[in-house]
Structure 1
Amino acid sequence: MDEQLSEFFKLFSNVLRLKILQILDQHEQNVSDLVTLTGYSQSNISQQLKMLKQADIISSHRHGKQIFYVLKDNHIHEIIALASNHLEEKL
Protein backbone atom coordinates (compact mmCIF):
# COMPACT_ATOMS: atom_id res chain seq x y z
CA MET A 1 0.00 0.00 0.00
CA ASP A 2 2.89 2.41 0.72
CA GLU A 3 4.18 2.04 -2.84
CA GLN A 4 0.72 2.71 -4.30
CA LEU A 5 0.28 5.77 -2.11
CA SER A 6 3.68 7.08 -3.15
CA GLU A 7 2.81 6.63 -6.84
CA PHE A 8 -0.54 8.32 -6.28
CA PHE A 9 1.04 11.40 -4.71
CA LYS A 10 3.60 11.60 -7.52
CA LEU A 11 0.70 12.45 -9.82
CA PHE A 12 0.32 15.75 -7.96
CA SER A 13 4.02 16.63 -8.24
CA ASN A 14 3.81 17.86 -11.82
CA VAL A 15 2.63 21.47 -12.25
CA LEU A 16 0.76 20.76 -15.49
CA ARG A 17 -1.03 17.70 -14.11
CA LEU A 18 -2.05 19.71 -11.06
CA LYS A 19 -3.36 22.53 -13.28
CA ILE A 20 -5.32 20.01 -15.34
CA LEU A 21 -6.86 18.50 -12.22
CA GLN A 22 -7.81 21.92 -10.88
CA ILE A 23 -9.43 22.85 -14.20
CA LEU A 24 -11.29 19.56 -14.46
CA ASP A 25 -12.47 20.06 -10.89
CA GLN A 26 -14.45 23.04 -12.18
CA HIS A 27 -15.85 21.58 -15.40
CA GLU A 28 -15.18 18.91 -17.99
CA GLN A 29 -12.88 20.03 -20.80
CA ASN A 30 -11.51 18.83 -24.10
CA VAL A 31 -7.83 18.97 -25.07
CA SER A 32 -8.22 22.22 -27.03
CA ASP A 33 -9.76 23.94 -24.01
CA LEU A 34 -6.98 22.65 -21.76
CA VAL A 35 -4.35 23.97 -24.20
CA THR A 36 -5.98 27.40 -24.09
CA LEU A 37 -6.46 27.42 -20.32
CA THR A 38 -2.95 26.20 -19.44
CA GLY A 39 -0.82 27.61 -22.26
CA TYR A 40 0.89 24.23 -22.72
CA SER A 41 1.18 22.33 -26.00
CA GLN A 42 -1.41 19.82 -27.15
CA SER A 43 1.11 16.99 -27.02
CA ASN A 44 2.11 17.84 -23.45
CA ILE A 45 -1.55 18.03 -22.37
CA SER A 46 -2.32 14.71 -24.05
CA GLN A 47 0.65 13.05 -22.38
CA GLN A 48 -0.47 14.21 -18.93
CA LEU A 49 -4.09 13.23 -19.58
CA LYS A 50 -2.92 9.75 -20.51
CA MET A 51 -1.06 9.44 -17.20
CA LEU A 52 -4.08 10.66 -15.21
CA LYS A 53 -6.39 8.32 -17.06
CA GLN A 54 -4.07 5.34 -16.50
CA ALA A 55 -4.07 6.20 -12.79
CA ASP A 56 -7.89 6.07 -12.90
CA ILE A 57 -8.22 9.66 -11.67
CA ILE A 58 -10.00 11.03 -14.73
CA SER A 59 -12.36 9.58 -17.28
CA SER A 60 -13.32 10.62 -20.77
CA HIS A 61 -16.35 10.52 -23.01
CA ARG A 62 -16.86 11.34 -26.64
CA HIS A 63 -19.28 14.00 -27.80
CA GLY A 64 -19.25 14.06 -31.58
CA LYS A 65 -15.62 14.30 -32.68
CA GLN A 66 -14.39 15.71 -29.38
CA ILE A 67 -13.29 13.85 -26.28
CA PHE A 68 -14.07 15.47 -22.95
CA TYR A 69 -12.24 14.73 -19.71
CA VAL A 70 -13.63 14.87 -16.20
CA LEU A 71 -12.54 13.94 -12.67
CA LYS A 72 -13.77 10.48 -11.75
CA ASP A 73 -14.78 11.35 -8.21
CA ASN A 74 -14.78 14.06 -5.58
CA HIS A 75 -11.78 12.67 -3.69
CA ILE A 76 -9.33 14.53 -5.93
CA HIS A 77 -11.10 17.81 -5.20
CA GLU A 78 -10.86 17.11 -1.47
CA ILE A 79 -7.17 16.20 -1.65
CA ILE A 80 -6.29 19.39 -3.52
CA ALA A 81 -8.45 21.50 -1.19
CA LEU A 82 -6.86 19.98 1.93
CA ALA A 83 -3.34 20.50 0.58
CA SER A 84 -4.16 24.10 -0.39
CA ASN A 85 -5.64 24.81 3.04
CA HIS A 86 -2.57 23.31 4.69
CA LEU A 87 -0.25 25.56 2.67
CA GLU A 88 -2.36 28.67 3.28
CA GLU A 89 -2.20 28.10 7.04
CA LYS A 90 1.60 28.05 6.81
CA LEU A 91 1.70 31.53 5.24
Structure 2
Amino acid sequence: MDKQLSEFFKLFSNVLRLKILQILDQNEQNVSSLVILTGYSQSNISQQLKILKAADIISHHRHGKQIFYTLKDDHIHEIIALASNHLEEKI
Protein backbone atom coordinates (compact mmCIF):
# COMPACT_ATOMS: atom_id res chain seq x y z
CA MET A 1 0.00 0.00 0.00
CA ASP A 2 2.89 2.40 0.70
CA LYS A 3 4.15 2.06 -2.88
CA GLN A 4 0.66 2.74 -4.28
CA LEU A 5 0.25 5.79 -2.06
CA SER A 6 3.65 7.10 -3.11
CA GLU A 7 2.77 6.65 -6.79
CA PHE A 8 -0.58 8.37 -6.23
CA PHE A 9 1.02 11.44 -4.65
CA LYS A 10 3.53 11.65 -7.51
CA LEU A 11 0.57 12.54 -9.73
CA PHE A 12 0.35 15.88 -7.90
CA SER A 13 4.08 16.62 -8.12
CA ASN A 14 3.98 17.76 -11.75
CA VAL A 15 2.94 21.42 -12.19
CA LEU A 16 1.05 20.81 -15.43
CA ARG A 17 -0.84 17.79 -14.09
CA LEU A 18 -1.81 19.78 -11.02
CA LYS A 19 -3.01 22.68 -13.20
CA ILE A 20 -5.06 20.27 -15.30
CA LEU A 21 -6.64 18.75 -12.20
CA GLN A 22 -7.47 22.19 -10.79
CA ILE A 23 -9.07 23.24 -14.08
CA LEU A 24 -11.05 19.99 -14.38
CA ASP A 25 -12.17 20.49 -10.79
CA GLN A 26 -14.05 23.58 -12.01
CA ASN A 27 -15.53 22.21 -15.23
CA GLU A 28 -15.02 19.58 -17.92
CA GLN A 29 -12.66 20.62 -20.69
CA ASN A 30 -11.34 19.43 -24.02
CA VAL A 31 -7.67 19.45 -25.00
CA SER A 32 -7.95 22.74 -26.94
CA SER A 33 -9.38 24.50 -23.89
CA LEU A 34 -6.68 23.06 -21.65
CA VAL A 35 -4.01 24.35 -24.05
CA ILE A 36 -5.47 27.86 -23.82
CA LEU A 37 -6.03 27.77 -20.05
CA THR A 38 -2.58 26.40 -19.19
CA GLY A 39 -0.41 27.88 -21.93
CA TYR A 40 1.20 24.49 -22.55
CA SER A 41 1.41 22.70 -25.89
CA GLN A 42 -1.16 20.20 -27.08
CA SER A 43 1.39 17.39 -26.92
CA ASN A 44 2.27 18.21 -23.29
CA ILE A 45 -1.41 18.32 -22.34
CA SER A 46 -2.13 15.02 -24.11
CA GLN A 47 0.84 13.34 -22.43
CA GLN A 48 -0.32 14.42 -18.97
CA LEU A 49 -3.94 13.46 -19.68
CA LYS A 50 -2.71 9.98 -20.64
CA ILE A 51 -0.95 9.67 -17.27
CA LEU A 52 -4.02 10.89 -15.37
CA LYS A 53 -6.28 8.48 -17.29
CA ALA A 54 -3.93 5.58 -16.59
CA ALA A 55 -4.07 6.48 -12.89
CA ASP A 56 -7.88 6.34 -13.13
CA ILE A 57 -8.46 9.79 -11.63
CA ILE A 58 -9.97 11.43 -14.72
CA SER A 59 -12.58 10.21 -17.15
CA HIS A 60 -13.57 11.30 -20.62
CA HIS A 61 -16.53 11.29 -22.97
CA ARG A 62 -16.89 12.09 -26.62
CA HIS A 63 -19.17 14.86 -27.88
CA GLY A 64 -19.04 14.81 -31.67
CA LYS A 65 -15.40 14.92 -32.67
CA GLN A 66 -14.21 16.35 -29.35
CA ILE A 67 -13.26 14.50 -26.19
CA PHE A 68 -14.06 16.15 -22.87
CA TYR A 69 -12.25 15.32 -19.64
CA THR A 70 -13.55 15.46 -16.07
CA LEU A 71 -12.40 14.41 -12.62
CA LYS A 72 -13.54 10.89 -11.95
CA ASP A 73 -14.76 11.59 -8.41
CA ASP A 74 -14.81 14.15 -5.61
CA HIS A 75 -11.80 12.67 -3.81
CA ILE A 76 -9.38 14.54 -6.04
CA HIS A 77 -11.21 17.80 -5.34
CA GLU A 78 -10.96 17.12 -1.61
CA ILE A 79 -7.24 16.30 -1.77
CA ILE A 80 -6.45 19.50 -3.67
CA ALA A 81 -8.66 21.57 -1.34
CA LEU A 82 -7.06 20.11 1.80
CA ALA A 83 -3.54 20.67 0.49
CA SER A 84 -4.40 24.24 -0.55
CA ASN A 85 -5.95 24.99 2.85
CA HIS A 86 -2.90 23.55 4.59
CA LEU A 87 -0.55 25.77 2.58
CA GLU A 88 -2.73 28.89 3.07
CA GLU A 89 -2.59 28.40 6.83
CA LYS A 90 1.21 28.46 6.66
CA ILE A 91 1.28 31.87 4.95
| TM-score, normalised via structure 1 length | 0.99
Kindly report which structure 2 residues correspond to 1:11-90, keeping only aligned pairs within 5 A, or say none: 11-90=11-90
Gaps of 5+ in 2: none
Segments of 4+ in structure 1 off by > 2 A?
A: none
Q: Cα RMSD between the aligned structures?
A: 0.3
Q: CA deviation at 1:52?
A: 0.2
Structure 1 match to 2:4: 4
Equivalent position SS for 1:56: coil
Aligned pair count reads 91
Q: CA deviation at 1:25?
A: 0.3
**Aligned mates of 2:41, 2:20 — CA distance in 1:** 13
